[in-house]
Chains A and B, each alone.
Chain A
Amino acid sequence: DAMVIQNPRYQVTQFGKPVTLSCSQTLNHNVMYWYQQKSSQAPKLLFHYYDKDFNNEADTPDNFQSRRPNTSFCFLDIRSPGLGDTAMYLCATSLPGLGEKLFFGSGTQLSVL
């Protein structure tokens, strides 16, 4: 089935140790998003790609970077994770246009120790 796949499902890293989260999609959607969701909060958009066009949210820390080498894959790099970066990271895709719906991966739960 076409879907959005995130790996790993759970990730533990040490304070300051770089970590990369991955997302792949078989939907061939133009837009890919990375959201950060902390406990009991709404998902917070970090950045998104429209094809290769990268769009960073103004309040996304420089510590967070992203790469989209092709349509199918998107990566979230956290260069020096802090304790406050412990959260669920959600990848989502959509097609552009009216009525665009988000298709989410199952998320990566990141714990920074």
Chain B
Amino acid sequence: RKEVEQDPGPFNVPEGATVAFNCTYSNSASQSFFWYRQDCRKEPKLLMSVYSSGNEDGRFTAQLNRASQYISLLIRDSKLSDSATYLCVVNPPYSSASKIIFGSGTRLSIRP
């Protein structure tokens, strides 16, 4: 089993739709979780951190389910500019050799 697995893309949805991605992780002791957005040929950029209580930033909502070991990202009222690859990132328990683990990414394409 991969350490971090994401929904296989691509997702192709109309503008204005609501879309959700999931990401599962294998290490139950993982400490922190993030969603990054990556545009074509650009570096990943932090979209939002994911907290146990869930968090919302405008049209974006992130949830963490520790019991089932997954995180989710919900995008409401999707815009054309939301088209990108969304990367799930998981931090293992802190150690001097901490290693941040990326999921393989989910491609999202918003059509007019």
Contact = CB atoms under 8 A, between A and B. Distances in A.
A109 B94 CA distance: 31
A31 to B, nearest CB: 7
Q: Which label, helix, strand, loop or mixed, suits the secondary structure of the B interface?
A: loop
A101 interface: yes
Given A99-B49, A106-B43, A107-B43, A42 B102 contact: yes
B42 A106 contact: yes
A96 interface: yes
A19 interface: no
B49 A90 contact: no
A41 B31 contact: no
Interface in A86-113: 88, 90, 94, 96-102, 104-107, 109
A42 B46 contact: no
Interface stretch (A45-53, A65-73, A74-82): A45-53
B42 A42 contact: no
Interface residues of B, number: 24
Interface of A: 31, 33, 41-43, 45, 48, 50, 53, 55, 88, 90, 94, 96-102, 104-107, 109
13 contacts: A42-B87, A43-B87, A45-B99, A48-B97, A50-B96, A90-B44, A99-B31, A99-B32, A101-B49, A102-B44, A106-B42, A107-B42, A109-B41
Given A100-B100, A101-B34, 7 more contacts: A43-B87, A50-B97, A55-B99, A100-B32, A101-B46, A102-B36, A107-B42
